[in-house]
Structure 1
Amino acid sequence: MDPADAEPTPALPEDPLANVPELHTYLTADPAERTAALKLVADSIAQMRQTANNSLIFHPLNLALFVGVLAVIIRYMINAGHEPFIVGTTCTGLLCIELVLIRFLTQDYLLAAEEINWAWLGDADMIVTKFGDEVIGTVVVEWVSGEARGKRKKAWKGEIKAWTVRLRYRRKGVGRALLEEAVKESRKKGAEGIEFQEGHANSKRVLPVFYSGKFDKGDRKAREKLQDLLGSSPTKTRRKRGSSG
C-alpha cells in the first residue's frame, strides 16, 4: 500500500492544563504581595455589603411586607381613579426608595473596608496563594502571648485576623490550603494553637442577627474547618531530653 494513501495518525489531545499556572501557597514578606493581599481583604469586606443587601431584599418577611404595602397602595390609587402610568411610576419610586434605604443600612461595610490598611495589619504574618502572578487568596495571622507557662515564659498562639479568597476562585480548595499553611506555620513557631480572632475582618455585622444567618453559617464553617485541620495535622515533634551535666 502506498504510504501516501495511509490514514493520518490522529493528533494527541492537548493537555487542557498545560498552560495553566500552578497554585503556590506560602508565607510572604514581599511588599507587593502583601499590598495585593491587603487589598483582597478590603475587597472581601466590601463584597459582604452585597450579601447583606440581598439578605434584606429577599428575606421572606421583608418581601411579604413590601408586596403587602404595594398592594394596598395600588388598590387605593386605582380606587381613587389614578392613571395606570401614575400607579406604575409610584410603585417604581417606592422600589427605588427601598433600595436606597437598604444601601444606607449596609454602608458600614464600605467604612470597614477602608479601615484595612497597614496600621490594621501591624506586624502580622501574611500567607498568600498565587495563581500565576495574581494573589488570589490570603490568611492574616497575628502571633500573641497566651497563658503563662509556670513563671518562665508564655505560650504563643496564632490568631487569624482575616481569611479570604478572590470571589471567582472560591469553593476550589484554595481557602483550605491557606488554613493548612497557617497551621503549618503555627507548628514551626511552636505555637500552642491557632484560632480565628474574635472580631476578625470578615466577622463584621451591621444588620440585626435576624438577617445575619448566612454570615454566621460561613463563620461557623470556617472555624470548624480550622479545628478539623488542627485535629488532623501532625503534632510537633517533641524534643529529646538532653543529658544532664
Structure 2
Amino acid sequence: MTSTPPARDSDPVTASSDSALDPPPLSFEVVSSDRDKRRALRLVADGIAQQRQVASLAIIFHPLCFVALGVACTLVWRRNSPDLGSALMALSGLVMAYLAAIRLYTSPFLRLAENFSCHSFLAAPEGYQDLVLVARFGGEIIGTLVLRLPPRPGAKAGQSSLKVDAGGGVIRAWTTMLRYRNKSIGADLLRFAVAVTRSACGDDAPVSFDPDHANSSLPLLRIFSRPFRSRDEKAAKALETALRDCDAGQSRFAPREPATDGS
C-alpha cells in the first residue's frame, strides 16, 4: 500500500520562480542627477544617429533615384550583354557604388550624433536647465523627453524648476529606445509631459514641440525629407491626443518633484 505525501499550501521554490518571471515595473519620473541625465540624453543621440537608416531608405527607394539606377543598369546591361558574366559583374558594381554613395551622403547624421552635447542642449538661454523626463523599465531608461518651462521668479541660473506662474511647456526632444517603440511608451511620455507642465504652469497651459528640436537638423535635400516631415506630423498628432486625454481627465500621471542628487 502506497501513501501520498500531505499536500502543502505553497511551494516556496515555485513561488520564487513565479516572482522571478514577473516583468519589471514601468515608471515615469523627472530626473535630476547628472548620471541619469547623461543616460537619458544618450537615447536622444542614438535617435539622431538612427535617422541615417530612415534617410538611406528614403533615398534608395525615391522614384527619381530608383529610375536613374534603372536607366544606368539598362545601359550597362546593353553594353555588356554579349558576355553574361561581365554584365552581371558590372551590374553588381553599379549597385554597390549606388549604395556606397548613399552611405556617404547620409554620414552627416552620425556626425550630428557624435557632436550632440548633453550639457549645452539642456542649457536654456536664460541660464536655466530644461527638465529631463524619463520612462524606466526596471532600472533601465527606455524613453526620454526634454521639456522646457518658463523659469520661476527668483530661481537661480543653472537650476531646473517645476513651479512657475505662467507660460507653457516646449518639448525639445522626445525619443524611445528602438526595441520599445510602437508600444505606447512615447505616448505615455507625452501625457506625463502635459501633466508636469500643467502642474507647474496651470491647468490650461499649452504644450508644443520646439521647431528646433533635437531631430530637426536634416543634412538632406528637401526631396528626400518626406519621411521626416511625416514623422513630425505624427508627433504633432500624438501630442494633440495627449492634450485631449489630459483635458478629459484620462491621464494617470501625478507629477513628482525631481529627486535631489544622491538621494
Which one has a bigger Cα radius of gyration? 1
- With the shorter chain as reference, the TM-score category is 0.7 to 0.9
CA distance, structure 2, for counterparts of residue 115 and residue 189 of structure 1: 32
SS in structure 2 opposite 1:156? coil
In structure 1, the residue matched to 2:135 is 129
TM-score norm. by structure 1 comes to 0.80
Q: CA RMSD in A?
A: 3.1
In structure 1, the residue matched to 2:246 is 233
Match of 2:236 among 223, 233, 244: 223
CA distance, structure 2, for counterparts of residue 160 and residue 39 of structure 1: 17
SS in structure 2 opposite 1:189? helix
Deviations 1:118-143 (A, max 9, x none): 11222111001111121110000112
Return the offset for 1:68: 2.1
C-alpha contact 2:165 2:201 (8 A) present in aligned 1: no
In structure 2, the residue matched to 1:150 is none
Q: Which runs of 5+ in 2 are unaligned?
A: 5-10, 124-128, 152-163, 250-263
In structure 2, the residue matched to 1:175 is 186
Return the offset for 1:16: 9.3
Q: Between Structure 1 and Structure 2, which shows a larger proportion of strand residues?
A: 1
SS in structure 2 opposite 1:203? coil
In structure 2, the residue matched to 1:38 is 41
CA distance, structure 2, for counterparts of residue 159 and residue 17 of structure 1: 40
CA distance, structure 1, for counterparts of residue 224 and residue 20 of structure 2: 41
C-alpha contact 1:53 1:103 (8 A) present in aligned 2: yes
The alignment covers a number of residue pairs equal to 225
State the AA in 2 paired with 1:215: F
Kindly tell me: are residues 217 and 21 of structure 1, through their superposed partners in 2, closer, same or farther at Cα, counting changes over 3 Å?
same
Return the offset for 1:17: 8.6
- Map residues 155-174 of structure 1 onto 2, 5 A cutoff: 155-174=166-185
In structure 1, the residue matched to 2:144 is 138
C-alpha contact 1:144 1:159 (8 A) present in aligned 2: no
Deviations 1:172-231 (A, max 9, x none): 110011111111110121153211001211233232333222221221111111122223
C-alpha contact 1:37 1:137 (8 A) present in aligned 2: yes
C-alpha contact 2:24 2:138 (8 A) present in aligned 1: yes
State the AA in 2 paired with 1:211: F
Return the offset for 1:3: 5.9
SS in structure 1 opposite 2:167? strand
State the AA in 2 paired with 1:228: T
Return the offset for 1:234: 4.1
C-alpha contact 1:38 1:116 (8 A) present in aligned 2: no
